[in-house]
Amino acid sequence: MKFLDEYRDAALTRKLADTLARETTRPWTLMEVCGGQTHAIVKFGLDTLLPPGLELVHGPGCPVCVTPVELIDKALEIAARPEVVFCSFGDMLRVPGSERDLFSVKARGGDVRIVYSPLDAVRLARENPTREVVFFAVGFETTAPANAMAVAQAREFGLQNFSLLVSHVLVPPAMEAILAAPDNRVQGFLAAGHVCVIMGVTEYEPIARNYQVPIVVTGFEPVDILKGVLQCVRQLEAGKAEVENEYARAVSREGNTPAQQLIREVFRIVPRKWRGIGEIAQSGLGLTEAYAEFDAECRFGVAGAHAEEPSECISGLILQGAKKPAECPAFGTRCTPEHPLGATMVSGEGACAAYHRYRRSQQQMLS
Amino acid sequence: MADVPNVLLAHGGGGRLMNELIESVFLPAFGNPLLDQRNDSAVIDLGDRRIAFTTDSYVVRPLFFPGGDIGTLAVNGTVNDLAMCGARPRWLSAGFIIEEGLPMETLRRVVQSMQHAAATAGVQLVTGDTKVVDKGKGDGLFINTAGIGVIEHPAAPAPAHVVPGDVVVLSGDIGRHGIAIMSVREGLQFESAIESDCAPLAAPVMALLEHGLQIHCLRDLTRGGLASGLNEIAMAAGVQLDIDESAVAVRDEVRGACELLGLDPLYVANEGRFIAILPPADLPRALDVLGSDARCIGAAGDGTAGLVTLKNRLGVARVLDLLSGEQLPRIC
């Protein structure tokens, strides 16, 4: 299949692995930012193709994982209301709040629906004028334009029964938070390709400069990822710290400027709490004053709710690359996809889910 | 299960949660030697002959989809469960739970499809039941079918007969049924229509048996797809199954749809595909009988009981796990 097979080509992947082995002279620690990349790495076993000492640690780029418990609780509270049709992308439904998840709300009679696009939620609001349709707007810069478009459309249609529960987060502030941590060991980044499709690459340049780390914008297929690793290692070996674009087939330097404009019109930059990590300044998006009427937190009066993270879950350390999933004592025992302690175990982009799904019995397998 | 107070959709998804439900609720109540076989059908020894007996309920939205409808599913699904025990399907029952207001024309179309599917599979619908529920209390139409088949051969395919060294044969390409349903249900438009693979499997299974092949185990792939079928066999048989991903056929349009939706075709539903596990000596004849779409996709080993591994095109092996419930489309 075109645009797929060439990026999963076994011979090319092997060749890249050989080149990496040849050119890597010292141990390096790189972080892939996006959970989609983490899953590809674990699923295809790309880390097993790297030379010894070249380590990939997994980053915070899983929107489901970093959504704080209190926001999940707000979602659960809103979704349980009889007048509400609560719309969400599929993988939010299994994420545990303080006591339950959206699937449980659905099982108890809540009208919770999986949609593929926020515009589907706008359509539902038009078709059901007597119901309150709420869309759970989760994600990084990638999903922000479509969510902004949904609100803009709702205003255009004059919809009074549509709102967004916003949990948008931004990648660059999270990368800076990781680099600024005293125990940081990340020496180079594979930046999330699809985030850069929207935002372009320029906002990473000051990070590369200020923290002296190479940042390579990278795609999601095996060939992309190994190319990204190779470009990053080459910079490190040469003592460089620049922004490079491996994913040029999708990412331009400026990004998608109409999408950026739409984001700026509907959203403003706000502080956000990240699950397991805590509040990061200027790290999220909230609705602007002009669109405040579409804010579900205000509409349903859940703005002040507060909840604690489960103490045993170390997803904060996982998301910052400080620990690997198998280092968690609860991994695979008290925490499984059926009975998760944290979101990293259930999300389609969570690192714990990737290790549990693809690696759980690796030791047995290799013995 | 104690911490799950309500039944969730995932309890019916064919994954790990459904196994938990069966083990914690149904088996403790009903457990008996026939049920404990946990095969696609119960195989009952009547002394002079053996019969296979099975039941399945069909709840599909929409009722009509490219390549079939709820009627074809209701006949073929039960026929296939009988065939997987090596039985020749003979008689079916049909129970209709109809929501008040269902257009009579819809019911007629479904019934006609059932009759057509039954004739194709060589079975007769010999008894039935009709219930009508209030509007809003059903999803148009639910159908339950039960079936009886006669086992004419000494072979009794079952997971317990799988031994290390056996090979795994897959009868055709995977994932078409699930993607066909999803494309209609979610209004997804693809360049070429993807039709369900819904088909009766009794004929190819009978052909394998009539050629005298030693079929150790058969499993039709339904909810949960190839990965779930393989995991169920590996667990029930107490063997490790090692699968080669490059041998598993997936049509380009199915791959494309799965890539778009973030789904893995190995877990997408099928309704007309099965795996046969047999000794390597019988492999060439089995492939001959099953035709050009069938492939040997792997083998059983004595590694870790219950483990399924998948070797990808890069030559790296990983776990091919059972999912918790249904696959969910990803955010981005």
Interface ipTM: 0.83
Domain final residue pick, B151, B170, B185 = B151
pLDDT over 70 percentage in chain A = 98
Largest Cα–Cα distance in chain A? 65
At residue B169 the predicted structure's pLDDT band, cuts being 50, 70 and 90, is very high
Contact between B256 and A114 using a beta-carbon 8 Å cutoff: no
pLDDT confidence of residue B331: 60
What is the arithmetic mean of pLDDT over B196-217? 95
Q: What is the CATH number of the domain that holds B171?
A: 3.90.650.10
Do B300 and B163 share a structural domain?
yes
Do B187 and B71 share a structural domain?
no
Q: Report d(CA A66, CA A42) in Å as an integer.
A: 20
Q: Report d(CA B299, CA B163) in Å as an integer.
A: 10
* Chain A nearest C-alpha distance from B318 (Å): 6
**Three-state DSSP class for residue B157:** coil
Q: Given a cut of 70, is residue B325 above it in pLDDT?
A: no
Whether B11 is in a domain gets the answer no
Do B103 and B39 share a structural domain?
yes
Q: What are phi and psi of B143, to 5 degrees?
A: -130, 135
Whether B26 is in a domain gets the answer no
Closest CA to A191 of A235, A236, A224, A144: A224
Do B168 and B113 share a structural domain?
no
Query: What are A104-145's pLDDT values in tens digits?
Result: 999 999 999 999 899 999 999 999 999 999 999 999 999 999
Query: Could you tell me the two tokens for B151?
Result: 């086992």
User: CA gyration radius for chain B?
Assistant: 19
Whether A331 is in a domain gets the answer yes
| Number of folded domains that form chain B | 2
Length of chain A: 367
* Chain A nearest C-alpha distance from B142 (Å): 20
Whether A364 is in a domain gets the answer no
Q: Which of residues 31-90 of A touch B (CB under 8 A)?
A: 36, 42-46, 48-49, 63-64, 89-90
pLDDT confidence of residue A347: 86
Closest CA to B241 of B196, B294, B302, B181: B302
Chain A residue numbers with beta carbons less than 8 Å from the beta carbon of B316 are 44-45, 48-49
Contact between B321 and A338 using a beta-carbon 8 Å cutoff: no
Chain A residue numbers with beta carbons less than 8 Å from the beta carbon of B255 are 1, 4
Q: Given a cut of 80, is residue B14 above it in pLDDT?
A: no
B220: left (phi over 0), alpha (psi -120 to 50) or beta: beta
Of B17, B256, B331, the CB nearest to A1: B256
Range of the domain at A209: 1-357
Whole-angstrom CA distances from B285 to B85, B213, B215, B288, B297 are 20, 8, 12, 5, 16
Do B175 and B147 share a structural domain?
no
Q: Is the omega angle on the peptide bond into residue B279 within 30 degrees of 0, that is, cis?
A: no
* Burial (CB count within 10 angstroms: exposed 0-12, middle 13-18, buried 19+), residue A146: middle
Task: Give, rounded to a whole angstrom, the gap between the first and last alpha carbons of chain B.
Answer: 31
Q: What is the CATH number of the domain that holds A238?
A: 3.40.50.11740
Query: Could you tell me the two tokens for B184?
Result: 């209609």
The pTM for the full model equals 0.88
Q: Given a cut of 90, is residue A213 above it in pLDDT?
A: yes
Query: What are A309-343's pLDDT values in tens digits?
Result: 777 899 999 999 999 999 999 999 999 988 888 88
Do B281 and B169 share a structural domain?
yes
- Are the CB atoms for B217 and B157 separated by under 8 Å? yes
Whether B8 is in a domain gets the answer no
Q: Report d(CA A177, CA B12) in Å as an integer.
A: 42
Do B311 and B178 share a structural domain?
yes
Chain B residue numbers with beta carbons less than 8 Å from the beta carbon of A43 are 312, 318
Q: Which of residues 3-22 of A touch B (CB under 8 A)?
A: 4, 8, 10, 13-14
Contact between B331 and A43 using a beta-carbon 8 Å cutoff: no
| Number of folded domains that form chain A | 1
Q: What is the CATH number of the domain that holds B71?
A: 3.30.1330.10
Number of A to B CB contacts under 8 A, please give it.
Answer: 110
Query: What are A273-310's pLDDT values in tens digits?
Result: 998 889 999 999 999 999 999 999 999 998 776 777 77
Do B314 and B180 share a structural domain?
yes
Q: Report d(CA B218, CA B211) in Å as an integer.
A: 16
**What's the mean pLDDT when you consider all of chain B?**
92
Range of the domain at B76: 32-151
- A107 at interface of B, judged by CB pairs closer than 8 A: yes
Do B194 and B302 share a structural domain?
yes
Of B6, B317, B329, the CB nearest to A116: B329
**Three-state DSSP class for residue B117:** helix
